Each structure stands twice: as C-alpha cells, then as structure tokens.
Amino acid sequence: MNGFIIVDKPQGMTSYDVIRRLKKITKFRKIGYIGTLDKNATGILPVAINEGVKLVPYLEDAQKVYLAKFILGIVTDTYDIQGTIIRKTEVPEFEKHVLEENLLKFKGKIRQRIPIFSSKKVGRKPLYKLARKGVDIEPMFKEVEIYDIKLMNYTHPIVEIEVVCSKGTYVRSLAYEFGELLGCGAALYALKRLRHGEFDEEMAVKVEDIKTREDILKNLIPCEKLFREGKEIVIEKPLERFLRHGMPIPIFGSVRDWKVGELTKILSKEGTMLAIGIADPSSKTVRVKRLINVREV
C-alpha cells in the first residue's frame, strides 16, 4: 500500500483529524499529508501513505487552486469569519469591474502579511499561541506568487474568486488585503481547495466513504502514476543494484527533449516505481535522489 489517497476534507475537521481517522481504519508504516487546510476550509487534501511519504518534498511546492468567498465590510483578528470582529463597515455595492481591477493588483509576486493566528513559528512557538496569550507581535510578511486570480461571482456583500497560487499563500490574508485596498475591509467567508499540483477534485474521495482498508486500496493512487508530465525510464533488473549505491542510471537513446534537473521516474520492467531522480542530459544519466519501494529493490 504505497502512494496517495486524495481526501475531500469536510468543514469542521482539521487536516490531522483526517490522518487520525485513517489510522483507525488500518495501520501504516508512514502517513502524512501535503498542504494544511484550515479547520473551516474544505476540498482536496493529498494524503501520502507509506512509500508515498518519500515523494512529498517533490510534490508540496506545486501550484494550488482555491475557490474563495470574501465578505465585504467585516475585519476580524484571524482574517476569516471565525475570528473576533474588530471592525464593521456599511458597504455600498461595487461595480464588478472595480472588483476585477483591484483583484488583478494581486497578480504576480506579492509581499503578504502572515496572520497572527497561524501556525507560523517564532522562537519555536506558533504565532496563534502567542496571540492567544495577548503577546504583542510585530507584523510579519512573506513573498508568495499569485499566478492567476479572477472574479467568479458577486452577490453583495459576498465576492467569490478563483485563485491559482504558490505554496504558502494565505488566502485569508488575501481577503484582508483586498478589503483594505477597497477601503471597506473584508474577511474570508469560505474556502475550498480545487487542485494541488496534479491532484484534483476528480481524484478525491469523501471522508465518510472511507470505512475499510479496501476503500483505501480502491482509491489509492500508486507512486508510479504520479509526475504524469515528467520523464521516466525503465531499467532492467541488473541495473537495480545501481540504485542501492546511488549511482547514476544511464539514459538510453536521444536526450534532445530532456531538461537539466528534470524530475524523472525510475521504473522496473514490471512498472513499479523504484526511485525518483534528476536528469543530467549532458552525461545522459539520471542521478538518484530518493529510493521508493526500497524493500522491492
């Protein structure tokens, strides 16, 4: 049982609650998830199982797509509707083009404010724990990238947007900053993750539909089915010993369309993923980065 199961996380359940639920169903050597979703957010949560955990570093930086609803005229301490209201404003209805023009100001690389009620650590302590104790916290910022952002619907005072963004983007900070730009304030009202890299809604299974080990196996995406847009090489049995010692694996044939540093799947003749590597076209080899299914090698 190696790979990923894509869970459709419901509102009110933390990301780790999903892990706890799966652990009650069956035992795993390793289990983890990519991309924490807040308790009140919904949508896809990729859960790595056993050897799949080794692939997390190569998948966690992928683009994410969210469908978000902002409520205008409200500012909270957490930047979402669950927080304590610190400012409330009467807001006139905006023209849609005004909202669209202001949303586009966030497109590209931006410096984003980190919510004080977040898991970001300062001196090994999460910000939210310091905030709950009333500790005065200096504003902190980070650089993220908004690849695309568009208005999907507007029913005053709710603005619905779709955003394509980089790892680490706080959509609730985006709501806060958008509200400040409009001059009326705003808070995140609802959030759903539609896609994380190559994982999308069509792959997702609802939590309530995962009741047995067989349900997990039925919905498991094997390691070899990942990195669909990357390169792959199939090696003969004698070459598998090279993997154990971290030796480069030769690329047979043309490397004309190979890119330096391109992630490459190394598969057995039977189609099992044995390792993930980095392509080096100049030497016509793939350097092994991480062994997968090491027990089968």
Active site amino acids: 38
Based on its alpha-carbon atoms, the radius of gyration of the chain, rounded to whole angstroms, reads: 22
> What does the block give as tokens for 149?
């952002």
Q: Which amino acid is at 283?
A: S
Question: Cβ–Cβ contacts within 10 Å for residue 211, how many?
Answer: 11
How far, in Å, CA of 216 to CA of 228, rounded? 22
Within a 10 A sphere around the Cβ of 161, how many other Cβ atoms? 23
Q: Is the peptide bond before 10 cis (omega within 30 degrees of 0)?
A: no
Judged by DSSP in three states, 161 sits in strand
* Cβ neighbours of residue 231 closer than 8 Å, sequence gap 6 or more: 258, 262, 263, 264, 265, 279
How far is CA 33 from each of CA 38, 184, 272, rounded to the nearest angstrom? Answer: 13, 36, 22
* Dihedral (CA of 163, 164, 170, 173) sign: negative
Eight-state DSSP code of residue 97: H
Q: Do 85 and 75 meet the contact criterion of CB atoms below 8 Å apart?
A: yes
